[in-house]
Structure 1
Amino acid sequence: MTTERPTEHIPHGRTRTHPLAPPAWLLASLRPNRAPVPWAAAVRAGIALSVPLAVGFALDEPEYGALVSMGALSGVIGDTADAYRMRILNIAFPQLLGAIGVALGTLVYGHGWVAVAVLTLIALLSGMISSIGTVASASGLVFLLNAVVGAGLPLPEPWWTAPLLLAAGGLFVLLLTLLGWPLRGRQPERAAVATAYRAVADALEAAGGPAPAYDERRQQVTQALNQAYDLVLGRRARVHGRSASLVRILAQLNVLIPLVEAAPAAHLHGRPLPPEVPAAVRELAAAVEEGRTGAPALDLPAPRSRSERAVDAALRHAATVVPLAEPDPHHADDRLGRPAALRVRAGRAVRDMMLSEASWRYGLRLALCIGLAQSLVSLIEVERSYWVALTVTFVLKPDFGSVFSRAVLRALGTAAGLVLAAAVLAEVPRGWWDVPVMMLLAALIPAFSAKGYVFQTAAITPVILLLSDLLNHQGFDLIRPRLLDSLIGCAIALVFGYLLWPESWHTRVGDRLADAVDDAARYVECAFAPVADEAALRAARQSRLQSRRRIYRDLSGVRSEFQRALTEPPPTGSRAAAWWPLVVAVERIVDATTAARVRVNHGAPAPPPSEVARIAGQLRELADGVRSSPTLYRVDIPAEPEEAGVLSPLHQEVAAARAIAQPEH
Structure 2
Amino acid sequence: MERSVRGTPPAWLTAGLKPAPAPIPWAAVARAAIALSVPLAVGLATGRPAYGALVSMGALSGVIGDTADAYRMRVFNIAVPQAFGALGVTLGTLVYGEGWAAVAVLTVVALVSGMISSIGAVASVSGLLLLLNAVVGAGLPMPAPWWKAPVLLGLGGLFVLALTLLGWPMRRVAPERGAVAATYRTVAELYEATGTPAYDEKRQAVTASLNQAYDVVLAHRARQHGRAAPLVRILAQLNVAIPLVEAAPAAHLRARLVGPLSPAIPAAVRELADAVEEGRTGAPALDDLPVPERPAEKAVDHALRHAAAVVHEADPDPYNVDDRLGRPAALRVRVRRSVRAVLFSDASWRYGLRLALCIGLAQAFVSLIPVPRSYWVALTVTFVMKPDFGSVFSRAVLRAAGTAAGLVLAALVLSEVPRGWWDVPVMAVLAALIPASSAKGYAFQTAAITPVILLLSDTLNHQGFDLVLPRLYDSLIGCAIALIAGYLLWPESWHSRIGDRLADAVADTAAYVARAFGGGGPDQGARLRARRKLYRDLSTVRSEFQRALTEPPPTGARAAAWWPLVVAVERIVDATTAARIRVDHGAQAPDPAEVAAVERELRELADGLRGTDTLVEVRAELPGDENGVLAPLRSEVSAARAIASPDLR
Superposed pair shares fold, TM > 0.5: yes
Q: Give the letter aligned to residue 102 of structure 2.
A: A
Give CA-to-partner distance per residue, 1:402-430, whole Å, 9 cap, x none: 10010011011111111110010000000
What is the SS of the residue equivalent to 1:655? helix
Residues 108 and 115, structure 1, Cα contact 8 Å, conserved in 2: yes
Q: Secondary structure at the match of 1:659?
A: helix
Matches within 5 A, 1:161-560: 161-210=148-197, 213-269=198-254, 270=256, 271-299=259-287, 300-335=289-324, 340-531=329-520, 540-560=523-543
1:596 aligns with 2:584: no
Deviation at 1:322?
Answer: 0.7
C-alpha distance in 2 between matches for 1:661 and 1:253: 36
Q: Deviations over 1:337-394 (max 9, x none)?
A: 6654554333322211111000000001111111111111111101111111100000
Q: For 1:566-625, what per-residue CA distance to the aligned partner results, in whole angstroms no more than 9, with x for missing partners?
A: 111111111101100000000000001111111111111222222211111100100111
The answer for the alignment partner of 2:637 in structure 1 is 654
Letter of the structure 1 residue corresponding to residue 513 of structure 2: V
Q: 1:112-131 CA deviation, whole Å, 9 max, x = no partner? A: 11111111111110110111
Shift of 1:17: 2.5
Tell me which of 54, 69, 73 is aligned to 1:86.
73
- Mapped contact 2:511–2:599 kept (Cα < 8 A): yes
Contact 1:250–1:331 under 8 Å retained in 2: no
1:221 partner letter = V
User: Quick check: 1:30 aligned with 2:7?
Assistant: no
Quote how far apart the aligned CAs of 1:205 are.
1.2
For 2:553, which of 558, 570, 573 is the aligned residue? 570
Distance (Å, rounded) in 2 between the aligned partners of 1:433 and 1:579: 54
> Which AA in structure 2 matches 1:479?
V
For 1:248 and 1:396, how far apart are their aligned partners in 2? Answer: 42
Partner-residue secondary structure (3-state), 2:615: coil
* Runs of 5+ consecutive residues of structure 2 not aligned to the other structure: none
Q: Does structure 2 conserve the Cα–Cα contact (< 8 Å) formed by 1:130 and 1:140?
A: yes
The equivalent of 2:616 in structure 1 is: 633
Match of 1:72 in 2: 59
Q: Give how far 1:237 is off.
A: 1.8
Q: Which one of the candidate residues 117, 133, 139 is aligned to 1:130?
A: 117
Q: Distance in 2 between matches of 1:40 and 1:305?
A: 47
Whether the 8 Å CA contact 1:237–1:342 is kept in 2: the answer is no
CA drift at 1:642: 4.6
SS at match of 1:203: helix
What is the deviation of 1:529? 1.3
How far off its partner does 1:42 sit? Answer: 0.7
Which residue is equivalent to 2:136? Answer: 149
Query: How far does residue 507 in structure 1 lie from its aligned partner after superposition?
Result: 2.0
- Tell me by how many angstroms 1:662 deviates: 7.3
The one-character-per-residue Cα deviations of 1:120-152 (angstroms, maximum 9, x if unpaired) are 111110110111111100110000000111111
Q: Aligned partners of 2:369 and 2:502: how far apart in 1?
A: 46
Residues 104, 150 of structure 1: 8 Å contact kept? yes
Give the distance between the partners of 1:588 and 1:340, measured in 2 at CA.
36
Assess, with a 3 A threshold, how the Cα gap between structure 1 residues 346 and 603 changes in structure 2: closer, same or farther.
farther
Task: Give me the whole-angstrom Cα distance separating, in 2, the residues matched to 1:124 and 1:422.
Answer: 34
Secondary structure at the counterpart of residue 245 of structure 1: helix
Quote the Cα distance in structure 2 between the aligned partners of 1:347 and 1:172: 31
Distance 1:659 1:31 in 2: 33
- C-alpha deviations, 1:282-331, integer Å up to 9, x for none? 00000000000122211211012100100000100111111111112354
**Maintained 8 Å contact 1:254/1:331:** no
Post-superposition, which runs of at least 4 consecutive aligned residues in structure 1 deviate over 6 A? none
Residue 580 of structure 1 is matched in structure 2 by 563
Deviation at 1:483, TM superposition (A): 0.4
Q: Distance between the aligned counterparts of 1:109 and 1:360, measured in 2?
A: 27
Aligned 8 A contact 1:336 1:549 in 2: no
- Cα deviation, residue 223, structure 1: 0.7
Aligned to 1:101: 88
- For structure 1, list consecutive stretches of 5 or more residues without a partner in the other structure: 1-6, 8-14
Q: CA deviation at 1:661?
A: 4.6
For 2:480 and 2:582, locate their aligned partners in 1 and report how far apart those are by CA, in whole Å.
57
The amino acid of 1:400's aligned partner reads F
Paired residue secondary structure (2:47): coil
CA distance in 1, matches of 2:329, 2:563: 35
Q: Write the distance in 2 (CA, Å) between the matches of 1:362 and 1:235.
A: 30
Q: Does the aligned pair in 2 maintain the 1:199–1:221 contact within 8 Å?
A: yes
Q: Is residue 128–residue 382 contact of structure 2 (8 Å, CA) maintained in 1?
A: yes
| In 1, Cα distance between equivalents of 2:516 and 2:297 | 20
Count of aligned pairs between the two proteins: 643
Partner letter of residue 471 of structure 1? L
Identity of aligned residues (%): 74
| Contact 2:392/2:483 (<8 A) preserved | yes
In structure 1, what residue type is equivalent to 2:629? V
Name the counterpart of 1:614: 597
The alignment partner of 1:179 has SS state of helix
Preserved contact between residue 497 and residue 612 of structure 2 (Cα < 8 Å): no
Quote the offset at 1:208 in angstroms: 2.0
Which letter maps to 1:517? V
| Distance change >3 Å, CA 631–CA 387, structure 1 → 2 | same
* Whole-Å separation in 2 of the counterparts to 1:334 and 1:600: 27
CA-based RMSD of the aligned residues comes to 1.4
The amino acid across from 1:528 in the alignment is F
8 Å contact 1:233–1:339 — kept in the other structure? no
Distance 2:365 2:448 in 1: 28
1:12 is matched with none
The offset of 1:333, in angstroms, is: 1.2
Q: Do the aligned partners of residues 597 and 632 (structure 1) sit closer, same or farther apart at CA in structure 2, a change above 3 Å counting?
A: same
Q: Does the 8 Å contact 2:396/2:479 carry over to 1?
A: yes
Contact 2:66 2:78 in 1 (8 A): yes
CA distance in 2, matches of 1:340, 1:527: 31
Q: CA deviation at 1:640?
A: 3.4
CA distance in 1, matches of 2:501, 2:543: 11
Aligned to 1:4: none
Q: CA deviation at 1:639?
A: 6.2
CA distance in 2, matches of 1:553, 1:456: 27
